[in-house]
Amino acid sequence: MTLKKLAIWSAQAVLPPLVVFGLVIVIWQACIVGFQLKPYLLPSPTAVLRAFINDSALLGQAVVYTGSAALLGFAGSLCIGTLIAFAFSQSRILRASGYPYFIFLQTVPIVAIAPLIVRWCGYGFQSVVLVAFILSLFPILSNGTQGLLDIDPNLLDLFRLNNSTRWQVLVKLRFPSAVPGILAGARTASGLAVVGSIVGEFFVGYGSKQFGLGYLIYSTNGQSQLDRLFASVLTSTLFGIAIFGLVNLISVTILRGWYDGPIEHRR
Amino acid sequence: MVETQTSLIEARSVAMSFGPAQLALTHVSTSIQTGEFVALLGPSGCGKSTLLRLVAGLMAPSEGTLTVGGLTPENARRGTRRVAFVFQEPNLLPWRTVADNIRLPLELQGVPRTEHSARIEQSLRLIGLTGDDSRKRPRNLSGGMRMRVSLARALVIQPDVLLLDEPFAALDDVLRQQLNEELVRIWTRHQWTGLFVTHNVAEAVFLSQRVLVMSKRPGTIIEEISVPFAYPREPGLRANLEFARLCGDLSQRLRGVAQ
């Protein structure tokens, strides 16, 4: 990227959100001064910044914990979601009989099944991973299945004309065709995995000596330490954005290298 | 031209319907000799592509018999006959380079890996592509180049039968003529049995030894016209009076058919 392009890109993509951010901070501070809001209702931006710096070691530790749970859950849903999509693409009966249960898994509130998860896996890291996995599975599964099935009929004919086996069609045609769809699913899933691991800690994560962002949010709220609560939320947000950006970067790199590029960049 | 007198493709009163009142082909009977280059000419939607897909064994006819070397098309293709098909669209895999697209049929048909690079190179040269082109991806090629790659992919298996479904219909006229000339040149060297579907009269006459004219839907072969020009056919043939007369004559008949 040339310097000029970088300048234009930052002017278009980075500057507007930063301006909004600055405005929000100013209004926030003005409200606190103007309405004389108490710190247990709304901490000042400076207090949040102070808590952010004071707690940085703690927050860093929490990010590692939450991040590993999210990453493991995401990796699990990427592998298992793709494998289930493989199976679904091979049999209509399997698809028809299995799909509703994954929709169920997608729609059931995590609070509703949290007691079961605790009963089966106990409190702690493994259960947090499981919640992240459950939450992030569906986008990969549904995008993957659709991508594996939605194949240009002419290409299927080309493979048939060359006397291909079912396995060859799956590996050399269906899977590569589905990669852009799976990546789109992975983008959504990565965000959901982060949400899943934070929310998961609320319900299934405490009771161990280890803790993550979810626990920090939960406990600082309980102690009315709103500056620390805000710092935890801020960290969660930054972390989520970082993960989303990373997955996005990986997917764009893959699509640029092997495909016609991401849809929004296609000529 | 050496004429081998064995019939390779035999159709006997073939009919194809895609459901009630959806008759695409009816009473199609013809035979195509080994090594013959035949054009299938007809108005749009007359079922000529359907006939080609039947010969490829992608579908089975609703009525009648169709054989390739005495077998059903699908068994022929799975047995000893190498059948290649060139689609209307290039149909390249976007994630593969040109060379790997051409490699695909070799992979699928289990040709030993040691032979791949020599066969791909030969195919590339035949169709006028360089080693530089072979490392590109389809999106970096022009429409004409993509069609060349598609042709190279068909030729790489050294087909006994080459089926072409209006492959050059989307190209501009100059490019189409160039590719026609190259196709004729390759055919005179390799002598596959060719069946070329087109609705372009000049293309049909320039390429083939025999033109099968089809009626409008439900399609049937209403006329077989042999093309008297000797091979190799040079570009100048298109300016030949006899060529123009034959094309004019065929156009007239096609117009009669379409009405």
Could you tell me if B186 lies within 8 Å of chain A, comparing CB atoms? no
Q: Average pLDDT for residues B104-116, to the nearest whole number?
A: 93
Q: Closest to A155 (Cβ–Cβ): which among B83, B91, B105?
A: B91
Q: What is the CATH number of the domain that holds A108?
A: 1.10.3720.10
| B100 located within any domain | no
Could you tell me if B195 lies within 8 Å of chain A, comparing CB atoms? no
Distance (Å) of CA A121 to CA A110, A118, A204, B148, B168: 15, 5, 9, 59, 63
Could you tell me if A12 lies within 8 Å of chain B, comparing CB atoms? no
| A47 located within any domain | no
| A44 located within any domain | no
Q: What is the ipTM of this complex?
A: 0.90
pLDDT at position B50, please?
92
Q: Note whether B91 contacts A154, CB cutoff 8 Å.
A: yes
In chain A, the number of structural domains is 1
| A35 located within any domain | no
Q: Note whether A161 contacts B83, CB cutoff 8 Å.
A: yes
pLDDT at position B133, please?
85
Q: Note whether A161 contacts B107, CB cutoff 8 Å.
A: no
Is pLDDT above 90 for B166? yes
Residues in CB range of B91: below 8 A, 6 or more apart: A152, A154, A155, A158, B150
Residues 142-171 of B with CB under 8 A from A: 157
pLDDT in tens, B172-201: 888 899 999 999 999 998 889 999 999 999
| A9 located within any domain | no
Q: Residue A159's pLDDT band (boundaries 50, 70, 90)?
A: very high
Tokens of residue B255, six digits: 């117009």
| B21 located within any domain | yes
Q: Residue B258's pLDDT band (boundaries 50, 70, 90)?
A: low
Q: Note whether B107 contacts A152, CB cutoff 8 Å.
A: no
- Tell me what percent of the residues of chain B surpass a pLDDT of 70: 97
Residues in CB range of A219: below 8 A, 6 or more apart: A211
* Closest CA of chain B from A160, distance in Å: 8
* Closest CA of chain A from B90, distance in Å: 10
pLDDT at position B2, please?
45
Is pLDDT above 80 for A82? yes
Q: Residue B4's pLDDT band (boundaries 50, 70, 90)?
A: very low
| A19 located within any domain | no
Q: Note whether A160 contacts B58, CB cutoff 8 Å.
A: yes
Q: What is the CATH number of the domain that holds B214?
A: 3.40.50.300
pLDDT at position A261, please?
61
Q: Average pLDDT for residues A197-225, to the nearest whole number?
A: 81
Distance CA B199, CA B254 (A): 9
| B99 located within any domain | no
pLDDT at position A124, please?
84
Tokens of residue A166, six digits: 């079912």
Q: Residue B109's pLDDT band (boundaries 50, 70, 90)?
A: very high
Is pLDDT above 90 for A87? yes
Tokens of residue A195, six digits: 């949400």
* Closest CA of chain B from A87, distance in Å: 22
Helix, strand or coil, per DSSP, at residue B156: coil
Q: Average pLDDT for residues B87-102, to the nearest whole number?
A: 93
| B253 located within any domain | yes
Could you tell me if A263 lies within 8 Å of chain B, comparing CB atoms? no
pLDDT at position B3, please?
45
Closest residue in chain B to residue A267, using alpha carbons only: B139
* Closest CA of chain A from B29, distance in Å: 24
Q: Containing domain of residue B230, as a range? A: 1-82+164-172+192-259
| B178 located within any domain | no
pLDDT in tens, A9-60: 778 888 888 899 899 999 988 988 888 888 778 888 888 999 999 988 889 9
Relative to beta strand B210-214, strand B221-226 is antiparallel
Q: Indicate the average pLDDT of chain B.
A: 89
Could you tell me if B80 lies within 8 Å of chain A, comparing CB atoms? no
- Interchain CB contacts (distance < 8 Å): A and B: 49
| B145 located within any domain | no
| B122 located within any domain | no
* Closest CA of chain B from A144, distance in Å: 17
pLDDT in tens, B37-62: 999 998 888 888 999 999 999 999 99
Task: Identify the residue among B59, B108, B150, B163 best suited for mutation to test binding to A, counting A beta carbons within 10 A and taking the highest.
Answer: B108
| A68 located within any domain | yes
Is pLDDT above 90 for A170? yes
pLDDT at position A207, please?
56
| A141 located within any domain | yes
| B139 located within any domain | no
Q: Indicate the average pLDDT of chain A.
A: 88
Closest residue in chain A to residue B161, using alpha carbons only: A161
In chain B, the number of structural domains is 1
| A187 located within any domain | yes
Q: Containing domain of residue A130, as a range? A: 60-265
pLDDT at position A258, please?
79
Of B151, B88, B114, B128, nearest to B106 (Cα)? B114
| Residues in B touching A159 (Cβ below 8 Å) | 108
| Residues in A touching B139 (Cβ below 8 Å) | 260
Of B256, B252, B206, nearest to B227 (Cα)? B206
The tokens 């300016």 sit on which residue?
B239
pLDDT at position A14, please?
82
Q: Residue A266's pLDDT band (boundaries 50, 70, 90)?
A: very low
